[in-house]
Structure 1
Amino acid sequence: MRLTGLALFALLLGACATAPRGPSLQDLREDVARRIPANVPDRQGWATDIAVAMQAQGIEATPENICSVLAVLEQESGYVADPVVPNLARVARAELERRAKAKYIPVFALNTALKLPSSDGRSYADRLAVVRTERELSEVYEDLVGRVPLGRRLFEDWNPVQTGGPMQVSIPFAEANARDYPYTVQGSIRREVFTRRGGMYFGIAHLLGYQTPYVRKVHRFADYNAGRYASRNAAFQNAVAVATGRELALDGDLLNPGAPLDRPGETERAVRQLAGPLEMDERSIRRALGQGDRLDFNDSVIFRRVFALAESRAGKTLPREVLPGIRLESPKITRELSTAWFANRVYDRYRRCLAR
């Protein structure tokens, strides 16, 4: 049985009051609220949703964890549950036209479809012209797919809005990790992501719901942007580059998804150069690199041997975590940004939060 927000809050508050370890939900909420900037509207509301999410997921309520959440939240949306995206209407229309062209649909046919009345009486074109947030855009696409045959052809099983909410969390991630979602789902998990409670629950899960080998939080923040263990994997790629003398993109992607064994990606091809000293064949190398989304990859034979070869050649110890060198690309981004830029911005906010 799913719980309403108030019932969940009361249940957790009662349970945590007698728990032998960790703060009560009330104490955690007050601690979170103290660390939220004073000018943020509804600080108590934000603090409650964050506290409930952390308690529900069993995440330790340390100042470091609380400030990690607040730093990402502040960077991604500035404490806005459904943030406005500049020029979203123009970007949305351009994406529709791009999709239509890719599927050989004439522009006039697209325009005709968009003139049809949507579920609220306005035409789809009129609704698209005024969308300001990703939630509004996602709702237009869902309506379009459900009511217009051309919409199904363009967007069935592919809503272009793939992130949303106050922490800009991945909607596919949320859908894949919704089994223990503590609230009553209103419509769909996709729609929950655009709410404050849902956006914070899944954002916190993505940020803190896994163990890392990192010493500094900046690498966890990079992972939030680039994918889990991207910083560790970028360090591995750096070691491969040193061991082989090849230049590699330090993007954290150890394998090209779906690549045939005879057409490996750049990182896998470089590792194969080391097959002899690694005492591994092509298949065992691929299997080993396929563990790059796990914490225990650090303890794997391939990880240890690659670093031993690289450090022998370099004559020094190499880092086990490196900020991925990924340029951020999205229709929403209007200037040159990178994962390192994002991670360092969040880290600055994190340190300021700890000082509050």
Structure 2
Amino acid sequence: MAPPTTRRRRPARPAQERAAPARAVRGAGPARGCARVTSRVRPPLLLTALACALLACARGGTREPPPLPRLTAELAARLLPPRVPAAEREGWSRDVLAALDAHELPPDAPHLCGVFAIIEQESGFQANPVVPELPRIVREGLEAKAKKLGPLGRPALERMLAGKAPGQSLTFAQRLERVRTERDLDLVFRELLEYHRHAHPFTFGAANVLNALFGSQSFEDMNPITTAGSMQVSVRWAQELAEQRHQSTDTVRDELYTRHGGVFYGTARLWGYEAAYAEPLYRFADYNAGPYSSRNAALQAQLNTLLGLQLLEDGDLLAYDVDGRPSREDSRTLLAFVAFARRFAPSTLSEGRVRRDLEREKTRELEETETWRTLKAVYARIQGEPAPYAQLPDVSLKSPKLKQERSTAWFARSVDTRYAACQERYRALGNVHTASR
């Protein structure tokens, strides 16, 4: 199991869009209509049969089996990695199938394998994954931030952690020493914040420590657990999705730590928006870096080519603060788009139009804007080839939970490897099904 990855907080607007499968998904299923080709067909049909065998049924020189019947929980369980315990396999499969149904997604191998691959990468099929050395990671993080407050920081931190929640015999500091999972840590911090908010008004020092530790006046934002569950879904994103579905947000954190809840929100995060990706590798990158990051990174690369710039191709066209909220500051990419418009389309693409168009950067609607169309047309004319739709974004992943620096590209390729293994199990299952008929 790989350790849970970290990702930057991103705007959650794509969660408003109706869940829909990708337009093109690699490995969408075996070819149809080729299983009965024999040497006794009439000569006029021979070329057709051979073409079918070579072009549609061949994969590495072997013929694809016909598609399986509808994937039930029992069949889907056989697509899981071998390491998943037998007693848990159908449970995971049922919850993933239920999530696909809830989001109106087809229960086929590509969608199942995509979700399975993310779960395997993020948690190794644990609804509430254990984080190695979590107490040390948390303590070092708190002390490092408190140190920035100067001489008063450490004493104020100790006073803050010396309290006890109602009904608890241990102090918050003692409980932090015993946490093993993100849910354990989440619960301690929720009680810590509630304790200081209601039972014990802040002293000046404690208030400063909390603001320094969590960078926000909001109690919800002070909780250091920002992603949770088997698919490491952004808590804020899940809460916004719950609001859009007219559901209570009060229990979202707790739901994410259940198998069903983590899969429900993670499936929406992975498949709940339309993108014309030619292969799911880019959607896996989006899962880590934010919706449409792969598509937008390609736009940044095209600006670099046309203008001779060195923009970071991270998939963010606008600037955002640490909490994922749009910043008032103009991003380098936005300024590059303005420069592009002045140079290549001064009479048809105003700065105001560019700014309005880029506000849609986290939605499919960006592809319907004049800015999008102009960039693609100019690139194709000058380069003599169509502009690529997507590329892996350049995003570094840094987290105390990661023993070495990783990137979104590493994450996407790792998930894609797991996805391919699941698809291979699907093809093998089809061969067994064919042989048994």
User: How high is the TM-score relative to the length of structure 1?
Assistant: 0.86
> Which of 233, 236, 258 does residue 195 from structure 1 map onto?
258
**Cα separation, partners in 2 of 1:201 and 1:337, compared to 1, 3 Å:** same
For residue 296 of structure 1, report the CA deviation from its aligned partner.
Answer: 2.7
**Cα separation, partners in 2 of 1:56 and 1:152, compared to 1, 3 Å:** farther
SS at match of 1:178: helix
For residue 259 of structure 1, report the CA deviation from its aligned partner.
Answer: 4.2
* Residue correspondence of structure 1 range 1-356 to structure 2 within 5 A: 27-41=71-85, 42-101=88-147, 106-119=153-166, 120-148=168-196, 149=200, 150=202, 154=210, 156-158=219-221, 159-179=223-243, 188-257=251-320, 258-260=326-328, 263-276=329-342, 277-278=344-345, 279-356=348-425
**Cα separation, partners in 2 of 1:118 and 1:53, compared to 1, 3 Å:** same
Asked if the contact 1:229–1:252 (Cα under 8 Å) also holds between the matched residues in 2, the reply is yes
Asked if the contact 1:272–1:285 (Cα under 8 Å) also holds between the matched residues in 2, the reply is yes
> Percent identity between the aligned chains?
37
Once residues 186 and 255 of structure 1 are traced to their aligned partners in structure 2, the CA distance between those partners, rounded to angstroms, is 28
Deviations 1:207-254 (A, max 9, x none): 011111111010000000010000000011111111111111110000
Deviations 1:251-309 (A, max 9, x none): 0000113444xx52110111111223233222221111111111132232211211222
Asked if the contact 1:49–1:197 (Cα under 8 Å) also holds between the matched residues in 2, the reply is yes
Asked if the contact 1:242–1:314 (Cα under 8 Å) also holds between the matched residues in 2, the reply is no
Q: Counterpart amino acid of 2:76?
A: V
Once residues 187 and 243 of structure 1 are traced to their aligned partners in structure 2, the CA distance between those partners, rounded to angstroms, is 48
**Cα separation, partners in 2 of 1:178 and 1:301, compared to 1, 3 Å:** same
**Cα separation, partners in 2 of 1:181 and 1:28, compared to 1, 3 Å:** farther
**Cα separation, partners in 2 of 1:335 and 1:140, compared to 1, 3 Å:** same
**Cα separation, partners in 2 of 1:37 and 1:274, compared to 1, 3 Å:** closer
Asked if the contact 1:229–1:293 (Cα under 8 Å) also holds between the matched residues in 2, the reply is yes
Deviations 1:168-212 (A, max 9, x none): 1111111111148799x8961111111111111000010011111
For residue 310 of structure 1, report the CA deviation from its aligned partner.
Answer: 2.5
For residue 311 of structure 1, report the CA deviation from its aligned partner.
Answer: 3.1
Once residues 158 and 235 of structure 2 are traced to their aligned partners in structure 1, the CA distance between those partners, rounded to angstroms, is 28
Q: Counterpart amino acid of 2:181?
A: T
For residue 85 of structure 1, report the CA deviation from its aligned partner.
Answer: 1.2
Asked if the contact 1:73–1:166 (Cα under 8 Å) also holds between the matched residues in 2, the reply is yes
Deviations 1:108-135 (A, max 9, x none): 1211231222343111111111211111
The root-mean-square deviation of aligned C-alpha atoms, in Å, is: 2.4
SS at match of 1:36: coil
For residue 55 of structure 1, report the CA deviation from its aligned partner.
Answer: 1.3
Which has the larger displacement, 102-111 or 244-253?
A: 102-111
Asked if the contact 2:289–2:408 (Cα under 8 Å) also holds between the matched residues in 1, the reply is yes
**Cα separation, partners in 2 of 1:186 and 1:272, compared to 1, 3 Å:** closer
Once residues 266 and 316 of structure 1 are traced to their aligned partners in structure 2, the CA distance between those partners, rounded to angstroms, is 26
Q: Counterpart amino acid of 1:144?
A: L
**Cα separation, partners in 2 of 1:181 and 1:36, compared to 1, 3 Å:** farther
Q: Counterpart amino acid of 1:136?
A: D
For residue 58 of structure 1, report the CA deviation from its aligned partner.
Answer: 1.2
Deviations 1:99-154 (A, max 9, x none): 44556752112112312223431111111112111111110100101113457762
Residue in structure 2 matched with residue 5 of structure 1 by the alignment: none
- Unaligned 5+ residue runs, structure 2? 1-67, 321-325, 426-437
Asked if the contact 1:83–1:133 (Cα under 8 Å) also holds between the matched residues in 2, the reply is yes
User: How high is the TM-score relative to the length of structure 2?
Assistant: 0.71
**Cα separation, partners in 2 of 1:211 and 1:204, compared to 1, 3 Å:** same
Which has the larger displacement, 294-303 or 308-317?
A: 308-317
Once residues 360 and 407 of structure 2 are traced to their aligned partners in structure 1, the CA distance between those partners, rounded to angstroms, is 25
Q: Counterpart amino acid of 1:166?
A: S
Q: Counterpart amino acid of 1:133?
A: T
Deviations 1:6-35 (A, max 9, x none): xxxxxxxxxxxxxxxxx99x9532232121
Higher RCO (CA-CA < 8 Å; seq separation 6+): 2
Once residues 126 and 170 of structure 1 are traced to their aligned partners in structure 2, the CA distance between those partners, rounded to angstroms, is 27
Q: Counterpart amino acid of 1:90?
A: R
More helix by share: 1
SS at match of 2:72: helix
- Rg larger for: 2
